[in-house]
Amino acid sequence: MSKTEPTPFSPEEIAAEGIKPEEYQEIVHRLGRHPNKAELGMFGVMWSEHCCYKNSRPLLSQFPTTGERVLVGPGENAGVVDLGNGLRLAFKIESHNHPSAVEPFQGAATGVGGILRDIFTMGARPIAILNSLRFGNLEDARTRRIFQGVVEGIAHYGNCIGVPTVAGEIYFDSAYAGNPLVNAMALGLMETDEIVKSGASGIGNPVLYVGSTTGRDGMGGASFASAELTDNSMDDRPAVQVGDPFLEKSLVEACLAAFKTGAVVAAQDMGAAGLTCSTSEMADKGGVGIELDLDLIPARETGMTPYEYLLSESQERMLFVAQKGREAELIEIFERWGLHAVVAGSVIEQPVVRILYQGTIAAEVTATALADDTPIYKRELLSEPPAYAVEAAQWTSESLPGCDYQGIDVQGKYKTWNEILLQLLDTPTIASKQWVYRQYDHQVQNNTVLLPGGADAAVIRIRPVDAKPQECTIGVAATTDCNPRYVYLDPYEGAKAAVAEAARNLSCVGAEPLAVTDNLNFGSPEKPVGYWQLANACRGIADACRQLATPVTGGNVSLYNETLDSDGNPQPIYPTPVIGMVGLVPDLSKICGQSWTNEKDLIYLLGYEHPSLSASEYLATIHKVVAGKPPSVDFELEKNVQAVCRYGIRQGWIASAHDLAEGGLAVALAEACIGNNFGATVKMAVSESQRLDELLFGEVASQIIVSVNPDNSQVWEAYLQEHLSDYWVKIGQVEQFGGDLNILTNDNLSLINVKIKEISSTWSQAIENRLIPNHLGENH
């Protein structure tokens, strides 16, 4: 068997694979020769940021990754935590940002398909999907097209495969114009001690290719995901995969059945970099080699070259290492589900990835060179914050017009506090996302306990396959969180705030936070400001996760999220480190949502501190100013507030709980009123030095509003005094169904008085109204 003779490549050909000149020289040094076309492509995808984290790996090493319940941490397809009673939860988050920018429907759909494969590859049955989405301004026609396409893609894949989409978050800001963020998170339930790993082993064991056929779709998707978006990015549509959720449903069942046989030694899904990534990572993790014959791979197109086979990211494909002699048993399972399953290679002793094609060696590279011993860039960190952050930090509320009990002058026009509250509720970032989640089947599998929009986190019943719903008393809660404006203005504090908010949201439904999966969405790390943002955000995540005892079990890094402005200059997105967090609900009868449930219940504010307008939604939306320092998290107070909230829920004292986030106290109160249409009367103390807009719309960490039945108030307040000291205050009570939201000062001066019907209508229709052509003066 002869080896295909390689030929040197031009600088343009090398750059087209995403390889830097110095990296190409390193490839030549390692091989002892020039690579051929297939090998060059293999290095291009495996040495991309998307696959090897060459700019972020040193920063990720500071994350805490171990904990009492952590069974599998970073390095596998998904993290796994112990839920007790022989049950385990697999979970992971990943991005599909660039594909969704050029082909929103398929980009988002295949993002869902890819994260689900990460889950069931571990041997877990998928039980829930979440997402974290960022878009530009909805007044922009292109943004609306991307937004609608992404939502339709998520809905299509999740609904067809039969996994509920239970929660998520969506932000709209011009910083994401042209470069949306589509982060998909999935959860899966394991009922066995046998976690399926991805490291190949057993010299001579067969390598099985299973699932769909291989085509030319998704070519070079990993390299595409590691480059900046440009005006030519629409030409990269072939780099966007095409998904088939019905085929993946069959793949789920076939894989889980195959794992039960005990004949599967290792498994890896074919996501980014396809066959190249799956073979090299499986071989490297096992310290062995893999030989694969491309002539045996089921192809959907004719005339495919080794380069195309190896870089294809066709969806719904897996690679297995099987026990020798049990191949037929596994093949029969997949054929029963109408799927391809062939022995395409074997595990070899020499630690290389050897690719055969038409009787020749088409590629041969050491597995470690592709999957582990990759370039690592330790970049120099700015010694001082960049100018934009220094300038923003100097902002104070003294630069705003003065305000009175009725309202404030906004850019030459007087607005009442009622009008400002309604304007904030009409802001797409704050407004109801029901237009989105009504397209998702969030109740398939019949285990969704708290529905989207009704609570600060999703709650899913943990139901083993053979159990009846009434027999299942424990659940898991899940959330995704990040305020990107906070991170932009102060990456360290903003990242800490994202972790704290995720844990707070879990605590608001009564769940004990367990662990984190993170998705780091940033601009170019090759630019000093971009790397400064990334490095400080990672430091913030690490510190916050240690403080809250929520280890990181894995995640995803998406860099080079930049688009060209009208002058052709690349503009990065807001740095957006999305935190996906899961928690344990020990008793599903002791949970609560965010909305008032009973008239005359008492309303309490936990974590009572002075709020600030710095970095707030009010400042950005009403006054068009993005400045100030975001709230700094006091972790002792944060932990105490969350613990008190969880205890109150589990004791049955708390009827509803909702954290204060964008829009501050007034928006949180309005949201608590809207869900069940109850009014509320709230009285707040105002100091002489405090601005009224700070009181109403200022933001601060570690705050939760709860409602409590008056019969429980005495024992509840005694508990609060013991555990929160002075960091709580009783602020009012729930009023009649269909009533008003009244916010007054302690001396009965009215600040806000608005009917629930009006705030509900504004809040619920804000996004849908912006999608109606007439609303925007368009002609169709």
User: pLDDT for 367-399, tens place per residue?
Assistant: 999 999 999 999 999 999 999 999 999 999 999
| Element at 221 (helix H, strand E) | helix 221-224
User: Is residue 547's pLDDT more than 80?
Assistant: yes
Q: Hey, what are 413's tokens?
A: 């026009």
Separation of alpha carbons 155 and 48, rounded Å = 30
- Give the pLDDT of residue 192: 82
User: Is residue 331 within 8 Å of residue 209, measured between CB atoms?
Assistant: no
Give burial (CB, 10 Å; 0-12/13-18/19+) of 247: buried
**At 238, is the pLDDT very low, low, confident or very high (cuts 50, 70, 90)?**
low
Tell me what the pLDDT averaged over the chain comes to: 94
β-bridge mates for residue 352, sequence order: 366
CATH number of 381-415+592-774: 3.90.650.10
β-bridge mates for residue 407, sequence order: 416
Gyration radius of the chain's alpha carbons: 27
User: Is residue 225's pLDDT more than 80?
Assistant: no
C-alpha distances in Å from residue 655, one per residue of 31, 39, 274, 723: 65, 61, 49, 19
User: Is residue 306 within 8 Å of residue 38, measured between CB atoms?
Assistant: yes
- Give the pLDDT of residue 409: 96
- Give the pLDDT of residue 473: 93
> In the block, which residue shows the tokens 């009215």?
750
Separation of alpha carbons 169 and 634, rounded Å = 24
Could you report the per-residue pLDDT of 256-268, keeping only the tens digit for each?
999 999 999 999 9
Look at residues 346, 351, 375 and name the one whose alpha carbon lies nearest to residue 365: 351
**Mean pLDDT on 217-232:** 55
Q: What percentage of residues in the chain have a pLDDT greater than 90? A: 90
Q: Residue 250 in 3-state DSSP? A: helix
- Give the pLDDT of residue 50: 87
- Give the pLDDT of residue 174: 94
User: Is residue 232's pLDDT more than 80?
Assistant: no
User: Is residue 341 within 8 Å of residue 210, measured between CB atoms?
Assistant: yes
Q: Which residue has the higher pLDDT, 217 or 173?
A: 173
Q: Residue 722 in 3-state DSSP? A: helix
Strand arrangement of the beta sheet that strand 165-172 belongs to? 70-72, 79-84, 87-95, 181-190, 125-135, 165-172
Pairing assessment for the beta strands 360-366 and 352-357 based on DSSP bridges:
antiparallel
**Mean pLDDT on 436-452:** 95
Q: Phi and psi (nearest 5°) for 228?
A: -70, 150
- Give the pLDDT of residue 466: 82
**Mean pLDDT on 511-527:** 97
C-alpha distances in Å from residue 546, one per residue of 539, 540, 635, 702: 11, 10, 10, 17
Could you report the per-residue pLDDT of 28-40, keeping only the tens digit for each?
999 999 999 999 9
Least confident of 57-71, 703-717, 761-775: 761-775
Separation of alpha carbons 435 and 432, rounded Å = 8
> In the block, which residue shows the tokens 């400045």?
627
- Give the pLDDT of residue 156: 97
- Give the pLDDT of residue 360: 97
Q: Phi and psi (nearest 5°) for 464?
A: -55, 155
User: Is residue 234's pLDDT more than 70?
Assistant: no
Q: What DSSP designation does 549 have?
A: T
Q: What is the largest CA-CA distance in the chain?
A: 92
Q: Phi and psi (nearest 5°) for 739?
A: -85, -145
Q: What DSSP designation does 137 have?
A: -
The contacts found for 452-455 with CB under 8 angstroms, 24 or more apart, are: 452/165, 452/166, 452/167, 452/168, 453/675, 454/593, 454/594, 454/595, 454/675, 455/508, 455/509, 455/591, 455/592, 455/593, 455/594
- Give the pLDDT of residue 146: 97
**At 613, is the pLDDT very low, low, confident or very high (cuts 50, 70, 90)?**
very high
**Mean pLDDT on 412-431:** 98
Q: Phi and psi (nearest 5°) for 726?
A: -95, 5
Angle between helices 491-507 and 528-548 (to 10 degrees): 40
Separation of alpha carbons 246 and 621, rounded Å = 43
**At 6, is the pLDDT very low, low, confident or very high (cuts 50, 70, 90)?**
low
**Mean pLDDT on 452-480:** 92
Amino acid at 165: T
| Element at 346 (helix H, strand E) | strand 340-348
Give burial (CB, 10 Å; 0-12/13-18/19+) of 634: middle
C-alpha distances in Å from residue 621, one per residue of 414, 418, 430, 617: 15, 15, 11, 6
User: Is residue 486's pLDDT more than 80?
Assistant: yes
> In the block, which residue shows the tokens 């800490």?
496
Give burial (CB, 10 Å; 0-12/13-18/19+) of 614: buried
Could you report the per-residue pLDDT of 632-666, keeping only the tens digit for each?
999 999 999 999 999 999 999 999 999 999 999 99
User: Is residue 108 within 8 Å of residue 182, measured between CB atoms?
Assistant: yes
- Give the pLDDT of residue 467: 83
Strand arrangement of the beta sheet that strand 206-211 belongs to? 264-269, 317-322, 206-211, 340-348, 289-293, 352-357, 360-366
**At 241, is the pLDDT very low, low, confident or very high (cuts 50, 70, 90)?**
confident
Pairing assessment for the beta strands 562-564 and 352-357 based on DSSP bridges:
unpaired
Other CB atoms within a 10 A radius of the CB of residue 364 amount to 19
Q: Where are the beta strands (DSSP E) in 216-304?
A: 264-269, 289-293
- Give the pLDDT of residue 194: 85
User: Is residue 442 within 8 Å of residue 166, measured between CB atoms?
Assistant: yes
| Contacts of residue 17, Cβ cutoff 8 Å, sequence gap at least 6 | 40, 41, 43, 44, 45, 220, 223
Q: What DSSP designation does 5 have?
A: P
Catalytic residue set: 50, 96
Q: How many residues are given for the chain? A: 780
Could you report the per-residue pLDDT of 100-159, keeping only the tens digit for each?
999 999 999 999 999 999 999 999 999 999 999 999 999 999 999 999 999 999 999 999
Q: Hey, what are 13's tokens?
A: 């050909």
